[in-house]
Homo-oligomer: A and B are copies of this chain.
Amino acid sequence: MCELLGMSANTPTDLCFSFTGLTQRGGKTGPHKDGWGVSFYEGKGVRSFHDATPSATSEIASMIQGHPIKSKTAICHIRQANVGDINLANTHPFIRELWGRYWVFAHNGQLESFSPKNGIYEPVGDTDSERIFCDVMNYIRAHLPRNATPKQLAEILVKLAQGYAKQGVFNCLLSNGDWLFTFCSTKLASITRRAPFGPARLTDADVTIDFESETTPNDVVSIVATEPLTSDEEWHLYKPGEWKLWQLGEVIAHGQATI
């Protein structure tokens, strides 16, 4: 299995604190040592880092931990390989362009025998996750108008996710930079931080942060992760089938699908 980390914020925010926590699980406090990747949106652009080495010891990961890349939306993934070899092409997040935006996807779970219909988007590597992502992108391109609202999109995404979750484990993060769609098939947690901000301590590293000194009173920053990343805050645990659509740090749509 893998671990996911997503961020949705109303102001460009760095992910250093959460990223530091998550990457420990890539070979140090957790077994997810088969590569890692992160994508940060900056406007319509996206800055991605991918590495097939363990995140806990990766030089690139260590540079990101200390280099505050600010973003309103970010998606991160650390991998424990099930389907597909350990190599760069199999490292999440996966990215494709649709309607002049970059869409970014990361998946936790497995749908080993998943075989997508042929379409415009094709996988480059050989993971089930990338096959699913291409299936999602082909379906959206074929069935939605380019000016679809985030809520119209979410409706389609929930139906697709429901279908995948019936065939295996399907926790996912998907974004086009404007919104962040999150679906829980087995495990996902979230937290929204807003004023009054307090301190927080990572579960996986001896690191504490005082969010008050890093934020303004209007900031709203939400983090979604496979498991809570801090030990002294209250995280919301998604139920199986629960989904949330985030924008600017807030939930703008949510629901519960039968899976």
Contact between B100 and A45, CB atoms less than 8 A apart: no
| A74–chain B nearest beta-carbon distance, Å | 13
Chain A interface: which size bin? 20 to 34
Does B100 lie within 8 Å of A123, measured CB to CB?
yes
What residues of chain B lie closer than 8 Å to A124, measured between beta carbons? 44-45, 97, 100-102
A178 at the interface (CB under 8 A from B): no
4 shortest interchain CB distances as A-B pairs:
A45-B88, A45-B89, A100-B122, A42-B88
CA distance A52 to B70 in the complex (A): 13
> Is A49 located at the chain interface by the 8 A CB criterion?
yes
Q: List 11 A-B contacts (CB under 8 A).
A: A42-B52, A42-B88, A44-B89, A44-B124, A45-B90, A45-B124, A47-B50, A47-B51, A59-B63, A97-B121, A120-B120
Which residue in chain B gives the minimum CB-CB distance to A49? B49
Nearest CB to that of A62 among chain B residues? B63
Starting from the known contacts A48-B48, A60-B63, A102-B124, 12 additional A-B residue pairs (CB-CB under 8 Å) come to A42-B89, A43-B87, A43-B89, A45-B50, A45-B52, A45-B87, A47-B51, A47-B88, A59-B67, A97-B122, A100-B122, A100-B123
- Indicate if A96 sits at the interface (CB-CB under 8 A): yes
**Set of chain B residues within 8 Å of A44, measured between Cβ atoms:** 89, 124-125
When chains A and B are docked, how far (Å) is the Cα of A45 from the Cα of B84? 13
A119 to B106, CA, bound (A): 27
Instruction: Give the Cβ gap from A26 to chain B, nearest Cβ, in Å.
Output: 17
A48 to B91, CA, bound (A): 13
Distance (whole angstroms) from the CB of A64 to the closest CB of chain B: 9
